[in-house]
Structure 1
Amino acid sequence: MTQPDPVEFASLLCSRLCHDLLSPVGAMTNGLELLADETDPEMRERCLELLGQSAKASADKLKFFRLAFGAAGGFGDKVEMAEPRAAIEALAGDAKRIELRWALDVDTLPKPAVKAMLNLAHIALESLVRGGTLDIGAERNNGASEIVVRATGPKIAFDDTIGQALQGDLAPADLSGRTAPAWMIGMMAENMGGSVQYHRSEDSLLLGAVIPEGEGMIG
Protein backbone atom coordinates (compact mmCIF):
# COMPACT_ATOMS: atom_id res chain seq x y z
CA MET A 1 0.00 0.00 0.00
CA THR A 2 1.05 3.59 -0.63
CA GLN A 3 1.50 5.15 2.79
CA PRO A 4 -0.02 8.50 3.80
CA ASP A 5 1.84 11.24 5.61
CA PRO A 6 2.38 9.89 9.17
CA VAL A 7 1.29 13.13 10.84
CA GLU A 8 -1.85 13.33 8.71
CA PHE A 9 -2.68 9.69 9.43
CA ALA A 10 -2.19 10.20 13.19
CA SER A 11 -4.52 13.19 12.94
CA LEU A 12 -7.18 11.02 11.30
CA LEU A 13 -6.95 8.41 14.05
CA CYS A 14 -7.17 11.13 16.70
CA SER A 15 -10.23 12.53 14.96
CA ARG A 16 -11.86 9.11 15.11
CA LEU A 17 -11.13 8.73 18.81
CA CYS A 18 -12.50 12.19 19.57
CA HIS A 19 -15.64 11.49 17.51
CA ASP A 20 -16.39 8.27 19.41
CA LEU A 21 -15.73 9.80 22.82
CA LEU A 22 -17.67 13.00 22.17
CA SER A 23 -21.09 11.51 22.89
CA PRO A 24 -20.46 9.97 26.34
CA VAL A 25 -18.24 12.84 27.48
CA GLY A 26 -20.82 15.37 26.27
CA ALA A 27 -23.52 13.46 28.14
CA MET A 28 -21.47 13.78 31.34
CA THR A 29 -21.12 17.53 30.82
CA ASN A 30 -24.86 17.91 30.30
CA GLY A 31 -25.58 15.74 33.33
CA LEU A 32 -23.35 17.84 35.54
CA GLU A 33 -25.07 21.02 34.37
CA LEU A 34 -28.49 19.53 35.14
CA LEU A 35 -27.30 18.27 38.51
CA ALA A 36 -26.04 21.72 39.49
CA ASP A 37 -29.50 23.25 38.95
CA GLU A 38 -31.65 20.34 40.16
CA THR A 39 -33.09 20.32 43.68
CA ASP A 40 -35.59 17.46 43.43
CA PRO A 41 -34.02 14.40 45.13
CA GLU A 42 -35.54 11.95 42.65
CA MET A 43 -34.31 13.91 39.66
CA ARG A 44 -30.86 14.29 41.21
CA GLU A 45 -30.69 10.53 41.65
CA ARG A 46 -31.65 10.10 37.99
CA CYS A 47 -28.94 12.57 36.94
CA LEU A 48 -26.35 10.66 38.97
CA GLU A 49 -27.46 7.42 37.35
CA LEU A 50 -27.04 8.90 33.88
CA LEU A 51 -23.65 10.32 34.85
CA GLY A 52 -22.57 6.87 35.98
CA GLN A 53 -23.68 5.32 32.69
CA SER A 54 -21.86 7.96 30.65
CA ALA A 55 -18.70 7.61 32.73
CA LYS A 56 -18.73 3.82 32.23
CA ALA A 57 -19.26 4.20 28.48
CA SER A 58 -16.33 6.62 28.29
CA ALA A 59 -14.07 4.31 30.29
CA ASP A 60 -15.09 1.29 28.17
CA LYS A 61 -14.26 3.13 24.96
CA LEU A 62 -10.90 4.34 26.29
CA LYS A 63 -9.91 0.82 27.35
CA PHE A 64 -10.99 -0.53 23.97
CA PHE A 65 -9.10 2.09 21.96
CA ARG A 66 -6.01 1.69 24.13
CA LEU A 67 -5.85 -1.95 23.03
CA ALA A 68 -7.02 -1.37 19.45
CA PHE A 69 -4.67 1.53 18.65
CA GLY A 70 -2.18 1.81 21.49
CA ALA A 71 0.49 -0.31 23.14
CA ALA A 72 -1.68 -1.86 25.86
CA GLY A 73 -1.59 -5.54 26.74
CA GLY A 74 1.57 -5.70 28.83
CA PHE A 75 5.19 -5.82 27.75
CA GLY A 76 5.22 -9.27 26.14
CA ASP A 77 4.51 -10.26 22.57
CA LYS A 78 1.27 -12.06 23.47
CA VAL A 79 -1.96 -10.84 25.05
CA GLU A 80 -4.23 -12.97 27.22
CA MET A 81 -7.57 -13.33 25.45
CA ALA A 82 -9.42 -12.22 28.58
CA GLU A 83 -8.30 -8.62 27.95
CA PRO A 84 -9.59 -8.05 24.39
CA ARG A 85 -12.64 -10.19 25.15
CA ALA A 86 -13.58 -7.96 28.09
CA ALA A 87 -13.04 -4.85 25.96
CA ILE A 88 -15.30 -6.11 23.18
CA GLU A 89 -17.97 -7.33 25.61
CA ALA A 90 -18.05 -3.91 27.28
CA LEU A 91 -18.40 -2.14 23.95
CA ALA A 92 -21.13 -4.54 22.82
CA GLY A 93 -22.92 -4.02 26.13
CA ASP A 94 -22.88 -0.26 25.63
CA ALA A 95 -24.28 -0.72 22.11
CA LYS A 96 -27.30 -2.68 23.46
CA ARG A 97 -29.37 -5.29 21.57
CA ILE A 98 -26.21 -7.19 20.61
CA GLU A 99 -25.79 -10.91 21.24
CA LEU A 100 -22.10 -11.75 21.43
CA ARG A 101 -20.86 -15.27 20.70
CA TRP A 102 -17.28 -16.52 20.92
CA ALA A 103 -15.37 -19.35 19.27
CA LEU A 104 -11.81 -19.09 20.58
CA ASP A 105 -9.28 -21.90 20.16
CA VAL A 106 -6.46 -19.90 21.74
CA ASP A 107 -5.70 -18.52 25.21
CA THR A 108 -3.36 -15.81 23.92
CA LEU A 109 -2.80 -13.95 20.66
CA PRO A 110 0.09 -11.82 19.36
CA LYS A 111 -0.55 -8.10 19.77
CA PRO A 112 -1.05 -7.45 16.01
CA ALA A 113 -3.72 -10.17 15.87
CA VAL A 114 -5.44 -8.65 18.90
CA LYS A 115 -5.50 -5.27 17.18
CA ALA A 116 -7.00 -6.89 14.10
CA MET A 117 -9.68 -8.61 16.17
CA LEU A 118 -10.61 -5.44 18.04
CA ASN A 119 -10.81 -3.27 14.95
CA LEU A 120 -12.80 -5.81 12.95
CA ALA A 121 -15.16 -6.27 15.91
CA HIS A 122 -15.60 -2.50 16.10
CA ILE A 123 -16.45 -2.29 12.40
CA ALA A 124 -18.92 -5.16 12.77
CA LEU A 125 -20.56 -3.64 15.84
CA GLU A 126 -21.08 -0.35 14.05
CA SER A 127 -22.80 -2.16 11.20
CA LEU A 128 -25.49 -3.58 13.53
CA VAL A 129 -27.55 -0.40 13.70
CA ARG A 130 -30.70 -2.32 14.67
CA GLY A 131 -29.00 -4.88 16.86
CA GLY A 132 -28.19 -8.47 16.03
CA THR A 133 -25.56 -11.12 16.63
CA LEU A 134 -21.80 -10.71 16.66
CA ASP A 135 -19.73 -13.90 16.27
CA ILE A 136 -15.99 -13.73 16.91
CA GLY A 137 -13.58 -16.58 16.32
CA ALA A 138 -9.82 -16.97 16.56
CA GLU A 139 -7.35 -19.78 16.03
CA ARG A 140 -3.71 -20.24 15.14
CA ASN A 141 -2.63 -22.27 12.10
CA ASN A 142 0.84 -22.72 10.61
CA GLY A 143 2.37 -19.81 12.49
CA ALA A 144 -0.44 -17.37 11.73
CA SER A 145 -3.43 -16.09 13.69
CA GLU A 146 -6.76 -16.38 11.89
CA ILE A 147 -9.52 -14.00 12.97
CA VAL A 148 -13.14 -14.19 11.84
CA VAL A 149 -15.85 -11.68 12.80
CA ARG A 150 -19.42 -11.96 11.57
CA ALA A 151 -22.24 -9.49 12.17
CA THR A 152 -25.79 -10.71 11.50
CA GLY A 153 -28.88 -8.56 11.89
CA PRO A 154 -32.02 -7.09 10.33
CA LYS A 155 -30.04 -4.19 8.85
CA ILE A 156 -26.35 -4.02 8.02
CA ALA A 157 -24.94 -0.51 7.66
CA PHE A 158 -21.52 -0.77 6.05
CA ASP A 159 -19.71 1.89 4.09
CA ASP A 160 -17.93 0.29 1.13
CA THR A 161 -15.03 2.70 1.57
CA ILE A 162 -14.23 0.87 4.82
CA GLY A 163 -13.96 -2.36 2.86
CA GLN A 164 -11.76 -0.63 0.32
CA ALA A 165 -9.52 0.64 3.12
CA LEU A 166 -9.28 -2.86 4.62
CA GLN A 167 -8.08 -4.30 1.32
CA GLY A 168 -5.79 -1.42 0.40
CA ASP A 169 -7.96 -0.17 -2.46
CA LEU A 170 -8.44 3.30 -0.99
CA ALA A 171 -5.89 5.97 -1.85
CA PRO A 172 -4.21 7.65 1.15
CA ALA A 173 -5.57 11.01 -0.01
CA ASP A 174 -9.11 9.63 0.34
CA LEU A 175 -8.70 8.41 3.92
CA SER A 176 -10.91 9.86 6.64
CA GLY A 177 -11.30 9.40 10.37
CA ARG A 178 -13.91 6.75 9.61
CA THR A 179 -11.70 4.68 7.30
CA ALA A 180 -8.27 5.21 8.92
CA PRO A 181 -8.57 2.32 11.44
CA ALA A 182 -9.54 -0.12 8.68
CA TRP A 183 -6.63 1.08 6.54
CA MET A 184 -4.26 0.62 9.49
CA ILE A 185 -5.31 -3.02 9.93
CA GLY A 186 -5.06 -3.71 6.21
CA MET A 187 -1.59 -2.21 6.05
CA MET A 188 -0.46 -4.09 9.14
CA ALA A 189 -1.64 -7.40 7.67
CA GLU A 190 0.06 -6.69 4.33
CA ASN A 191 3.34 -5.71 6.00
CA MET A 192 3.31 -9.00 7.91
CA GLY A 193 2.57 -11.10 4.83
CA GLY A 194 -1.06 -11.61 5.79
CA SER A 195 -4.38 -10.45 4.44
CA VAL A 196 -7.79 -9.02 5.32
CA GLN A 197 -11.04 -9.91 3.56
CA TYR A 198 -14.67 -8.94 3.85
CA HIS A 199 -17.99 -10.02 2.38
CA ARG A 200 -21.25 -8.16 2.78
CA SER A 201 -24.81 -9.33 2.17
CA GLU A 202 -28.19 -7.83 3.01
CA ASP A 203 -28.28 -9.24 6.54
CA SER A 204 -24.66 -10.07 7.35
CA LEU A 205 -21.11 -8.77 7.26
CA LEU A 206 -18.19 -11.20 7.32
CA LEU A 207 -14.70 -9.92 8.15
CA GLY A 208 -11.57 -12.04 8.27
CA ALA A 209 -7.86 -11.55 8.83
CA VAL A 210 -4.79 -13.75 8.64
CA ILE A 211 -1.91 -12.28 10.64
CA PRO A 212 1.43 -14.16 10.52
CA GLU A 213 3.56 -13.86 13.61
CA GLY A 214 6.29 -11.24 13.38
CA GLU A 215 6.80 -7.50 13.21
CA GLY A 216 4.53 -5.46 10.99
CA MET A 217 3.02 -2.45 12.66
CA ILE A 218 2.99 1.05 11.20
CA GLY A 219 6.40 2.45 10.69
Structure 2
Amino acid sequence: MTDTAFSPLPDGQALAALVAGKLCHDFISPAGAISSGLDLLKDPTAQDMRDDAMGLIEASAEKMVALVAFARVAFGASTSAERFSGADLGDLVAGLTAGGRATLEWRVEGGDYSKAQARALVNLAYLTVAALPSGGVATISSERGERLRISGVAEGPRARLKPEAIAGMAGQPLGEGLPGQWIQPYWLWLTARDAGGSLAVETDEGRVALTVHMPN
Protein backbone atom coordinates (compact mmCIF):
# COMPACT_ATOMS: atom_id res chain seq x y z
CA MET A 1 0.00 0.00 0.00
CA THR A 2 1.25 3.46 -0.86
CA ASP A 3 0.10 6.47 1.15
CA THR A 4 0.21 9.82 -0.54
CA ALA A 5 2.81 12.39 0.41
CA PHE A 6 2.51 16.12 0.10
CA SER A 7 4.24 17.81 -2.82
CA PRO A 8 4.36 21.38 -4.13
CA LEU A 9 1.19 22.36 -5.93
CA PRO A 10 1.34 23.28 -9.62
CA ASP A 11 0.65 26.86 -10.65
CA GLY A 12 -3.01 27.77 -10.27
CA GLN A 13 -3.44 28.80 -13.90
CA ALA A 14 -1.74 25.63 -15.11
CA LEU A 15 -4.02 23.52 -12.94
CA ALA A 16 -7.09 25.35 -14.24
CA ALA A 17 -5.91 24.80 -17.82
CA LEU A 18 -5.50 21.07 -17.21
CA VAL A 19 -8.98 20.77 -15.70
CA ALA A 20 -10.45 22.75 -18.62
CA GLY A 21 -8.61 20.51 -21.05
CA LYS A 22 -9.98 17.41 -19.37
CA LEU A 23 -13.53 18.75 -19.57
CA CYS A 24 -13.17 19.76 -23.22
CA HIS A 25 -11.85 16.29 -24.05
CA ASP A 26 -14.86 14.70 -22.33
CA PHE A 27 -17.39 17.03 -23.95
CA ILE A 28 -16.09 16.93 -27.52
CA SER A 29 -17.27 13.40 -28.30
CA PRO A 30 -20.99 13.78 -27.46
CA ALA A 31 -21.02 17.35 -28.81
CA GLY A 32 -19.55 16.16 -32.09
CA ALA A 33 -22.06 13.29 -32.27
CA ILE A 34 -24.96 15.72 -31.78
CA SER A 35 -23.58 17.90 -34.57
CA SER A 36 -23.25 14.87 -36.87
CA GLY A 37 -26.83 13.82 -36.11
CA LEU A 38 -28.14 17.29 -36.91
CA ASP A 39 -26.21 17.30 -40.19
CA LEU A 40 -27.88 14.02 -41.14
CA LEU A 41 -31.31 15.45 -40.36
CA LYS A 42 -30.63 18.43 -42.64
CA ASP A 43 -29.24 16.31 -45.47
CA PRO A 44 -32.05 15.73 -48.04
CA THR A 45 -30.21 12.68 -49.40
CA ALA A 46 -30.08 10.99 -45.98
CA GLN A 47 -33.73 11.02 -44.96
CA ASP A 48 -33.71 7.21 -44.73
CA MET A 49 -31.29 7.64 -41.79
CA ARG A 50 -33.56 10.01 -39.88
CA ASP A 51 -34.34 7.50 -37.12
CA ASP A 52 -30.65 6.70 -36.72
CA ALA A 53 -29.85 10.41 -36.55
CA MET A 54 -32.47 11.02 -33.89
CA GLY A 55 -31.19 8.08 -31.87
CA LEU A 56 -27.64 9.43 -32.09
CA ILE A 57 -28.74 12.91 -31.00
CA GLU A 58 -30.79 11.58 -28.09
CA ALA A 59 -28.05 9.28 -26.76
CA SER A 60 -25.38 11.96 -27.14
CA ALA A 61 -27.52 14.62 -25.46
CA GLU A 62 -28.09 12.30 -22.50
CA LYS A 63 -24.35 11.71 -22.28
CA MET A 64 -23.65 15.45 -22.38
CA VAL A 65 -26.17 16.15 -19.62
CA ALA A 66 -24.61 13.38 -17.49
CA LEU A 67 -21.13 14.82 -18.06
CA VAL A 68 -22.19 18.34 -17.09
CA ALA A 69 -24.03 17.16 -13.96
CA PHE A 70 -21.02 15.10 -12.91
CA ALA A 71 -18.49 17.85 -13.65
CA ARG A 72 -20.39 20.41 -11.53
CA VAL A 73 -19.80 18.25 -8.47
CA ALA A 74 -16.47 16.62 -9.39
CA PHE A 75 -14.62 19.75 -10.54
CA GLY A 76 -16.73 22.72 -9.57
CA ALA A 77 -19.31 23.79 -7.04
CA SER A 78 -23.00 23.10 -7.41
CA THR A 79 -25.02 26.29 -7.52
CA SER A 80 -28.06 24.70 -5.90
CA ALA A 81 -26.78 22.58 -3.02
CA GLU A 82 -24.34 22.79 -0.14
CA ARG A 83 -24.73 19.11 0.72
CA PHE A 84 -25.53 16.00 -1.31
CA SER A 85 -27.20 12.70 -0.52
CA GLY A 86 -25.44 9.43 -1.16
CA ALA A 87 -28.24 8.35 -3.49
CA ASP A 88 -27.96 11.52 -5.59
CA LEU A 89 -24.21 11.07 -5.92
CA GLY A 90 -24.76 7.48 -6.96
CA ASP A 91 -27.10 8.64 -9.70
CA LEU A 92 -24.44 11.06 -10.99
CA VAL A 93 -21.82 8.34 -11.22
CA ALA A 94 -24.21 5.78 -12.70
CA GLY A 95 -25.36 8.25 -15.34
CA LEU A 96 -21.79 8.91 -16.40
CA THR A 97 -20.56 5.30 -16.41
CA ALA A 98 -23.68 3.64 -17.87
CA GLY A 99 -23.01 1.60 -20.98
CA GLY A 100 -19.40 0.82 -20.03
CA ARG A 101 -17.91 -2.60 -19.51
CA ALA A 102 -17.66 -2.36 -15.74
CA THR A 103 -20.54 -2.98 -13.33
CA LEU A 104 -21.05 -0.35 -10.62
CA GLU A 105 -21.93 -1.54 -7.11
CA TRP A 106 -22.99 1.48 -5.03
CA ARG A 107 -22.82 0.76 -1.30
CA VAL A 108 -22.49 4.29 -0.01
CA GLU A 109 -24.10 5.11 3.34
CA GLY A 110 -27.09 7.40 3.43
CA GLY A 111 -27.00 10.84 4.94
CA ASP A 112 -25.54 14.05 3.60
CA TYR A 113 -22.09 14.70 2.21
CA SER A 114 -20.39 18.08 2.11
CA LYS A 115 -19.13 19.54 -1.15
CA ALA A 116 -15.57 18.37 -0.47
CA GLN A 117 -16.74 14.90 0.53
CA ALA A 118 -19.01 14.69 -2.52
CA ARG A 119 -16.19 15.81 -4.80
CA ALA A 120 -13.89 13.15 -3.41
CA LEU A 121 -16.59 10.47 -3.60
CA VAL A 122 -17.59 10.98 -7.24
CA ASN A 123 -14.00 11.33 -8.46
CA LEU A 124 -12.94 8.21 -6.57
CA ALA A 125 -15.92 6.31 -7.99
CA TYR A 126 -15.17 7.40 -11.56
CA LEU A 127 -11.51 6.45 -11.28
CA THR A 128 -12.42 3.08 -9.78
CA VAL A 129 -14.64 2.31 -12.77
CA ALA A 130 -11.94 3.60 -15.14
CA ALA A 131 -9.49 1.07 -13.65
CA LEU A 132 -11.53 -1.70 -15.35
CA PRO A 133 -10.95 -1.23 -19.10
CA SER A 134 -11.87 -4.87 -19.79
CA GLY A 135 -14.82 -5.00 -17.43
CA GLY A 136 -15.32 -6.21 -13.90
CA VAL A 137 -17.01 -4.92 -10.76
CA ALA A 138 -16.37 -1.50 -9.20
CA THR A 139 -17.61 -1.42 -5.61
CA ILE A 140 -17.96 2.01 -4.01
CA SER A 141 -18.65 2.24 -0.27
CA SER A 142 -18.46 4.66 2.62
CA GLU A 143 -18.33 4.34 6.38
CA ARG A 144 -18.67 7.01 9.03
CA GLY A 145 -16.68 6.85 12.25
CA GLU A 146 -14.31 9.38 13.74
CA ARG A 147 -13.51 10.15 10.10
CA LEU A 148 -15.36 9.46 6.88
CA ARG A 149 -13.90 6.53 4.96
CA ILE A 150 -14.62 6.31 1.23
CA SER A 151 -13.38 3.29 -0.67
CA GLY A 152 -13.43 2.07 -4.24
CA VAL A 153 -12.43 -1.47 -5.17
CA ALA A 154 -12.02 -2.46 -8.82
CA GLU A 155 -11.90 -6.21 -9.45
CA GLY A 156 -11.63 -7.71 -12.90
CA PRO A 157 -9.27 -8.84 -15.65
CA ARG A 158 -6.61 -6.25 -16.40
CA ALA A 159 -7.68 -4.03 -13.48
CA ARG A 160 -4.97 -1.40 -13.42
CA LEU A 161 -3.97 2.21 -12.99
CA LYS A 162 -1.88 4.00 -15.57
CA PRO A 163 1.47 5.43 -14.43
CA GLU A 164 0.10 8.96 -14.80
CA ALA A 165 -2.83 8.11 -12.51
CA ILE A 166 -0.52 6.61 -9.89
CA ALA A 167 1.61 9.74 -9.93
CA GLY A 168 -1.44 11.98 -9.61
CA MET A 169 -2.86 10.01 -6.68
CA ALA A 170 0.49 10.35 -4.94
CA GLY A 171 0.36 14.13 -5.30
CA GLN A 172 3.33 14.05 -7.66
CA PRO A 173 3.82 16.38 -10.63
CA LEU A 174 3.22 14.93 -14.07
CA GLY A 175 6.39 13.57 -15.62
CA GLU A 176 6.10 11.68 -18.86
CA GLY A 177 2.66 10.70 -20.08
CA LEU A 178 -0.68 12.27 -20.88
CA PRO A 179 -1.93 15.21 -18.79
CA GLY A 180 -5.51 14.03 -19.30
CA GLN A 181 -4.71 10.76 -17.53
CA TRP A 182 -3.06 12.62 -14.63
CA ILE A 183 -5.30 15.54 -13.79
CA GLN A 184 -8.36 13.77 -12.36
CA PRO A 185 -6.30 11.47 -10.07
CA TYR A 186 -4.33 14.52 -8.94
CA TRP A 187 -7.57 16.43 -8.39
CA LEU A 188 -8.80 13.61 -6.13
CA TRP A 189 -5.59 13.74 -4.12
CA LEU A 190 -5.79 17.53 -3.91
CA THR A 191 -9.43 17.40 -2.77
CA ALA A 192 -8.62 14.97 0.02
CA ARG A 193 -5.52 16.87 1.09
CA ASP A 194 -7.15 20.30 1.15
CA ALA A 195 -9.97 18.92 3.31
CA GLY A 196 -7.49 17.59 5.86
CA GLY A 197 -7.75 14.02 4.61
CA SER A 198 -5.61 11.43 2.88
CA LEU A 199 -5.66 9.13 -0.12
CA ALA A 200 -4.19 5.63 -0.26
CA VAL A 201 -3.78 3.36 -3.28
CA GLU A 202 -3.33 -0.41 -3.35
CA THR A 203 -2.76 -2.41 -6.53
CA ASP A 204 -2.62 -6.18 -6.98
CA GLU A 205 -3.16 -8.46 -9.94
CA GLY A 206 -6.77 -8.05 -10.98
CA ARG A 207 -7.54 -5.61 -8.19
CA VAL A 208 -7.19 -1.87 -7.50
CA ALA A 209 -8.29 -0.29 -4.22
CA LEU A 210 -8.58 3.45 -3.53
CA THR A 211 -9.30 4.75 -0.04
CA VAL A 212 -9.94 8.30 1.09
CA HIS A 213 -10.19 9.35 4.73
CA MET A 214 -11.74 12.77 5.41
CA PRO A 215 -13.03 14.65 8.45
CA ASN A 216 -16.73 14.27 9.18
Which TM-score tier does this pair reach, normalised by the shorter chain?
A: 0.7 to 0.9
* Superposed CA RMSD: 2.1
Count of residue correspondences: 209
Partner of 1:66: 72
**What is the letter of the counterpart of residue 84 of structure 1?**
L
Contact 2:164 2:174 in 1 (8 A): no
- Secondary structure at the aligned position of 1:105 is classed as coil
TM (norm. structure 2) is: 0.87
Instruction: Give the Å deviation of 1:39.
Output: 5.1
Partner of 1:11: 17
Partner of 1:171: 173
Aligned match for 1:28, one of 30, 34, 38: 34
Instruction: Give the Å deviation of 1:73.
Output: 6.9
**What is the letter of the counterpart of residue 187 of structure 2?**
M
1:126-165 mapped onto 2 (5 Å cutoff): 126-142=130-146, 144-165=147-168
**Are residues 1:124 and 2:111 paired?**
no
Instruction: Give the Å deviation of 1:102.
Output: 2.0
CA distance, structure 2, for counterparts of residue 63 and residue 154 of structure 1: 30
Aligned match for 1:91, one of 96, 108, 120: 96
Instruction: Give the Å deviation of 1:131.
Output: 2.0
Higher relative contact order (CA 8 A, sep 6+): 2
CA distance, structure 2, for counterparts of residue 125 and residue 21 of structure 1: 19
Instruction: Give the Å deviation of 1:176.
Output: 2.2
Structure 2 alignment gaps of length 5 or more: 1-6
Deviation string, structure 1 residues 43-87 (Cα, Å, up to 9, x no partner): 2011101110011011111111111011117443x3112221110
Identity %: 28
